[in-house]
């Protein structure tokens, strides 16, 4: 940290709000930010940023920010000292466990943790100190199907195929909108420009989405698809390709098992049947499959729309299978595996450790547990349902499940029945207002940034490190230290462990570039470094017990009858299908308190196809009432032919109603998760099936 001075200081740092890791140039005077600009020399983002980067300064100066430990007194909070807060937290956690059992304390870790390496390094010890198996995170409202596909096929949840978009000739995007979201499980800032580059070199980008998205517009080729029918499309593409000729497994051939089983599995998925399920014509499916297979280098990428739905895991499996049988797996321009400076896969290697999956099942509704976490879809019922293992206290760290988990208001009601709740957070919001104790977190500019997770998903190997710019308010400890001190209080240790920088130095030395990348070197140059394009390496990296790659794991084959039976699910009482969308000026549920981002018209609107609107007599801006099995919301209609008929789109992350968020609550918005249904999951992974929600629509 620099002392206040008249001379502006300059820092190069990557933005850690979303997965894109855009390079920023920040000028400041030690007291205030003077400017936040894109870094044209960043080897990954090459000058791209989005409107949220400039808001990084607002998170620090947000007048609604929690800056002291807060203890609930009656219906309000009073400030207490850090020492009193740690004592109270440890005492209450242990009291609940003493009265019941260790699992009586649940833990929920939210998305911002994935962007804070110091939290990632310290949270496992906290969870271990609490000693509960009732662990939850936002991952099961997001990407667990990707991990489950990787576990069963490649042996490690984080060994993740990444589309090598800078060298591909054919990119097939299913259920992702990276032009707005800036990419996920695929760190690729400046997506629009990267799409333009594919087209400029004679390649094609095709988007499959029930909404003609900003990405579809940029790509120029788009097919509407019926929500939740993507696995049908993928299986039919495999059917066409495997009927046309032998699979091209290339260098992976000696390692691959299960091609016969895959061939047998795709047999029922003819393009004609898939056309009925998806709404995409059989001819188009055949053509798409043949074009993909014929492209010199092709990559299929399936994301949120294809993961947070009832067939999420089948989609991710079939996506991998499509890339594999067309010879595009672990190959330039196809789906590749990163070699980042911190080797996340290596440091959590599962080699030689045979495991059975799912690791466990949940107590009340038998949902699967992967990666040591129960699906967030079962959180409410695990709080509500008596018996051994019932959750009676909850610790949240940077999470807002009331707004972000399916049927969030049920979770909210459940929270009110807890014996104790504590949150490490920056806001008193719809979730944390139910806590008995809130510990303040630190925000990006007060922390060291090093991205431990998203380099693992990046389309190019790069590395960057930047120290904190500003001190936390009120002499507060940095967030990682809060986690470490709470852990020490629980274990009775009289000191906390090594600093995140000390651990990072070791991890960098052990990583793929340990020869050339060191913490001291990064600190000295103060600039992100390019570590080069992705290289084929899967043969040495497979983490399966037998070192082989199974194209057709039994768990996935066993789920195919469910897909085959999924044809017509029309419900006359709820004839519309609701899907979600992301928006450029917000990130999940927590950036809406930046006046700079939230200003302007109400963007929490329901997108409706013109024919549907006309039939119901709904005009532009009219309030519409949307009802699902879980609830009802009313919001203004936006009429657009970007929506497929019968499908409605609503943005996620809105509906801040409670707490102390003055800017966020200025506009009347609603939460999509007042509608989503926690009984809808992908049964293979337990992931929430947000998309494809049956709803009714009426003028309000």
CB 506 within 8 A of CB 520: no
Minimum separation from the CB atom of position 450 to ligand SF4 (A):
14
- Residue 18 interacts with ligand MGD (CB under 6 A)? yes
- Residue 21 interacts with ligand SF4 (CB under 6 A)? yes
CA atoms of 147 and 160, how far apart (whole Å): 8
Label residue 354 exposed, middle or buried (CB < 10 Å: 0-12, 13-18, 19+).
Answer: exposed
Pick the closer one to ligand SF4 by CB: 15 or 70: 15
CB 395 within 8 A of CB 105: yes
Pick the closer one to ligand SF4 by CB: 182 or 476: 182
Label residue 416 exposed, middle or buried (CB < 10 Å: 0-12, 13-18, 19+).
Answer: exposed
Tell me which DSSP letter residue 21 carries.
-
Minimum separation from the CB atom of position 657 to ligand SF4 (A):
25
- Residue 20 interacts with ligand SF4 (CB under 6 A)? yes
- Candidate ranges 139-147, 233-241, 287-295, 400-408; the one touching Mo ion (CB under 5 A): 139-147
User: Residue 358, preceding bond cis, omega within 30 degrees?
Assistant: yes
CB 104 within 8 A of CB 387: no
Q: Which residue is associated with the tokens 């791209």?
A: 48
Position among 26, 33, 44, 53 found at the interface with ligand SF4 (CB under 6 A): 53
Q: Which residue is associated with the tokens 């959180």?
A: 379
Sequence-ordered alpha helix ranges (H) in 131-229: 144-154, 178-181, 191-200, 214-219
Q: What stretch of H or E contains 299?
A: strand 298-302
- Residue 466 interacts with ligand SF4 (CB under 6 A)? no
DSSP 348-405: T--TT----SSSEE-TTT--EEBTTB--GGGHHHHHHS-STT---EEEEES--HHHHS
Residues 54-113 that bind ligand MGD (CB under 6 A): 110-112
- Residue 443 interacts with ligand MGD (CB under 6 A)? yes
- Candidate ranges 136-144, 145-153, 488-496, 502-510; the one touching Mo ion (CB under 5 A): 136-144
- Candidate ranges 25-33, 161-169, 272-280, 686-694; the one touching ligand MGD (CB under 6 A): 686-694
Using CA atoms, how far residue 216 sits from 122, 602, 647, 676, in Å, is 40, 24, 17, 26
- Residue 52 interacts with ligand SF4 (CB under 6 A)? yes
- Kind of pairing, strands 393-397 and 23-28? unpaired
- Residue 19 interacts with Mo ion (CB under 5 A)? no
Position among 26, 44, 50, 325 found at the interface with ligand SF4 (CB under 6 A): 50
Report what 21 binds from Mo ion, ligand SF4, ligand MGD, none; CB cut-off 5-8 Å by kind: ligand SF4
Minimum separation from the CB atom of position 50 to ligand SF4 (A):
3
Within a 10 A sphere around the Cβ of 164, how many other Cβ atoms?
A: 24
Distance of CA 496 to the CA centre of its chain: 30
- Produce one character per residue of 318-350: b if its CB has 16 or more CB atoms within 10 Å, e if not: bbbbbbbbbbbbbbebbbbbbbbbbbbbbeeeb
Distance of CA 69 to the CA centre of its chain: 29
* Residues binding Mo ion: number (CB under 5 A): 1
Coil, helix or strand for 640? Answer: coil
- Produce one character per residue of 215-235: b if its CB has 16 or more CB atoms within 10 Å, e if not: bbebbeebbbbbbbbbbbbbb
- Residue 401 interacts with ligand MGD (CB under 6 A)? yes
- Residue 22 interacts with ligand SF4 (CB under 6 A)? yes
- Residue 16 interacts with ligand MGD (CB under 6 A)? no
- Residue 681 interacts with ligand MGD (CB under 6 A)? no
Report what 455 binds from ligand MGD, Mo ion, ligand SF4, none; CB cut-off 5-8 Å by kind: none
Position among 13, 15, 381, 609 found at the interface with ligand SF4 (CB under 6 A): 15
Report what 49 binds from Mo ion, ligand MGD, ligand SF4, none; CB cut-off 5-8 Å by kind: ligand SF4
Position among 39, 42, 142, 209 found at the interface with Mo ion (CB under 5 A): 142
Report what 401 binds from ligand MGD, ligand SF4, Mo ion, none; CB cut-off 5-8 Å by kind: ligand MGD
- Residue 459 interacts with ligand SF4 (CB under 6 A)? no
Interface residues with ligand MGD (CB under 6 A)? 18, 110-112, 138, 141-142, 174-178, 180-182, 184, 208-211, 213, 225, 227-228, 230, 303-306, 309, 397-401, 404, 424-427, 429, 431, 441, 443, 479, 579-584, 586-590, 649, 652-653, 672-673, 676, 690-692
Interface residues with ligand SF4 (CB under 6 A)? 15, 17-18, 20-22, 49-50, 52-53, 182, 189
């Amino acid at each position: 940290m620099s002392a206040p001075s008249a001379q502006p200081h300059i820092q190069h740092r990557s933005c850690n709000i979303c997965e894109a890791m855009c390079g920023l140039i920040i000028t400041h005077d030690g007291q205030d930010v003077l400017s936040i600009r894109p870094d044209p020399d960043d080897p990954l983002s090459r000058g791209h940023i989005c409107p949220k980067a400039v808001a990084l300064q607002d998170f620090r100066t947000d007048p609604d920010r929690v800056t002291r430990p807060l203890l609930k007194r009656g219906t309000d909070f009073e400030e207490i000292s850090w020492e009193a807060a740690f004592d109270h937290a440890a005492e209450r956690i242990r009291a609940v466990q003493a009265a019941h059992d260790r699992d009586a304390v649940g833990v929920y870790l939210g998305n911002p943790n994935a962007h804070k390496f110091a939290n990632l390094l310290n949270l496992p010890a906290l969870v271990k100190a609490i000693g509960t198996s009732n662990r939850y995170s936002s991952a099961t409202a997001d990407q667990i199907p990707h991990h489950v596909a990787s576990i069963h096929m490649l042996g490690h949840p984080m060994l993740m195929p990444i589309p090598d978009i800078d060298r591909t000739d054919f990119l097939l995007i299913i259920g992702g909108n990276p032009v707005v979201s800036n990419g996920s499980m695929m760190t690729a800032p400046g997506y629009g420009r990267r799409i333009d580059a594919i087209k400029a070199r004679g390649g094609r980008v095709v988007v499959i989405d029930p909404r003609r998205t900003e990405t579809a517009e940029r790509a120029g080729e788009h097919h509407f698809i019926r929500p939740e029918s993507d696995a049908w499309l993928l299986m039919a593409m495999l059917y066409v390709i495997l009927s046309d000729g032998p699979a091209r497994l290339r260098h992976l051939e000696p390692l691959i098992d299960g091609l016969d089983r895959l061939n047998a599995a795709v047999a029922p998925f003819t393009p004609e049947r898939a056309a009925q399920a998806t709404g995409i014509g059989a001819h188009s499916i055949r053509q798409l499959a043949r074009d993909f297979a014929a492209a010199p280098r092709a990559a299929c990428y399936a994301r949120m729309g294809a993961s947070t739905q009832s067939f999420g895991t089948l989609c991710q499996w079939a996506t991998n299978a499509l890339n594999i049988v067309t010879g595009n797996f672990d190959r330039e321009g196809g789906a590749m595996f990163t070699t980042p400076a911190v080797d996340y896969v290596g440091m959590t290697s599962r080699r030689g450790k045979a495991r059975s999956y799912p690791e466990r099942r949940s107590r009340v509704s038998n949902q699967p547990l992967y990666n040591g976490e129960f699906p967030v879809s079962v959180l409410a019922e695990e709080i509500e349902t008596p018996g051994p293992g019932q959750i009676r206290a909850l610790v949240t760290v940077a999470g807002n499940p009331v707004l972000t988990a399916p049927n969030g208001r049920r979770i909210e009601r459940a929270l009110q029945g807890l014996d104790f709740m504590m949150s490490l957070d920056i806001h008193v919001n719809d979730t944390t207002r139910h806590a008995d104790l809130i510990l303040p977190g630190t925000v990006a500019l007060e922390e060291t940034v090093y991205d431990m997770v998203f380099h693992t998903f990046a389309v190019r190997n790069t590395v960057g490190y930047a120290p904190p710019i500003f001190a936390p308010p009120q002499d507060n400890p940095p967030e990682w230290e809060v986690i470490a001190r709470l852990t020490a209080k629980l274990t009775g240790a009289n000191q906390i462990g090594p600093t995140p920088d000390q651990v990072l130095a070791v991890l960098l030395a052990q990583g793929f570039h340990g020869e050339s990348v060191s913490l001291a070197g990064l600190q000295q140059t103060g600039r992100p470094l390019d570590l080069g394009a992705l290289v084929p390496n899967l043969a040495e990296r497979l983490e399966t017990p037998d070192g082989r790659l199974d194209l057709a794991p039994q768990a996935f084959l066993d789920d195919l009858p469910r897909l085959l039976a999924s044809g017509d699910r029309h419900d006359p009482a709820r004839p519309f299908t609701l899907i979600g969308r992301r928006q450029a000026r917000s990130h999940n549920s927590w950036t809406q308190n930046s006046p700079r981002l939230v200003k302007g018209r109400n963007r929490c609107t329901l997108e409706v196809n013109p024919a549907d609107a006309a039939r119901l007599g709904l005009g532009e801006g009219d309030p519409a009432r949307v009802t699902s099995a879980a609830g009802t919301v009313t919001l203004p209609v936006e009429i657009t032919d970007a929506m497929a008929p019968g499908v409605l789109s609503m943005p996620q992350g809105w509906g801040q109603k409670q707490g102390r968020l003055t800017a966020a609550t200025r506009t009347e918005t609603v939460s999509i998760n007042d509608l989503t249904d926690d009984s809808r999951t992908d049964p293979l992974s337990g992931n929430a099936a947000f998309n494809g929600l049956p709803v009714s629509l009426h003028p309000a």
